[in-house]
Amino acid sequence: MTAIVLDESRKLRRGSIILTGVFGMLTAFLLAVFPAMKEEAELIEEAYPEYVLVMLGFEEMHTIEGFAGGYIYPFVWILFGGVYFAYVGGGLIAGDIRSRKMDLTLANPVSRESVLAQKVAALWVPLLALNAGLLAVLFLGSRLIGEPLGFVDIAIVHLLSIPYLLVCAGIGVVFSVVFDRVGRAQVSALGLVFMLWLVDGISLMEPDYEWVGDLTPSRYYDPSAILLHEEYAFVDAAILLVAFLVLIGVATAIFTRRDI
């Protein structure tokens, strides 16, 4: 019953390690430039148009909490992390269908529901690797530059990011069971996650259309609120978890009925 999840976990291990290193280096670079940016924080904020400040959630950029919540996490974690999980989710099923490996898998006494569930369960590898890696870089790096971040705060930031990343992966899984070509599934998934991120930010600029952002996953995950105001949106995290389960339910329904 666990053969598939173990096999998929091994496949995801290499990519997770590489991306953890990339994210870690990018985060370390941003932390390294913070002391210089700190002195010019007000000028930097004035240089950006108002809609960019609203879109990215820039607030108190002269503090390490504001810098991490408004600069590091929106790009490294919400955008790039979300896109990566959508990309991984997009290849979970379509890749095996394209290579005909799925035929061999289903020739064994295993249901399609179990196959999909075990493949999704393998996402624990990138979830653990990326969260642990980025948390360690931020915790240690902030101390090296003399601007320490609280361990509890950044731990909660990463804990509450898991439902968001799962939703992004769930979007990829839906595309993975819809398309036969893995490339098409992955590009469609990461493209949609990117568009949803843009819609969330743009909708904040127009009060009449702010409700549109409520349909995007990034609206329910706000690192700045956690780091600056200690607002722990557990209800929003629960909403994202429900959305993830719905996406997996839709993907399962499609996968069990389609002809491969």
Residue boundaries of the structural domains of the chain: 3-257
- Measured from the Cβ of residue 225, the count of other Cβ atoms closer than 10 Å reads 18
Name 3's Cβ contacts closer than 8 Å, sequence gap at least 6.
Answer: none
Give pLDDT, residue 43: 64
Give pLDDT, residue 230: 84
Place of tokens 């148009």: 49
User: Which pLDDT tens digit goes with each residue over 32-48?
Assistant: 888 877 776 666 666 66
Q: What is the rounded distance in angstroms from the CA atom of residue 135 to the CA atom of residue 129?
A: 10
Residue 123 has pLDDT above 90, yes or no: yes
∠ CA 161-218-25, nearest 5°, is 55
Region of 100 (left: φ > 0; alpha: ψ -120 to 50; beta: rest) is: left
Of 175, 171, 131, 182, nearest to 154 by C-alpha is 131
Mean pLDDT across 80-104: 88
Of 76, 31, 42, 37, nearest to 56 by C-alpha is 76
Residue 52: pLDDT band with limits 50, 70, 90: low
CB 251 within 8 A of CB 113: no
What six digits make up the tokens of 54? Answer: 């609203």
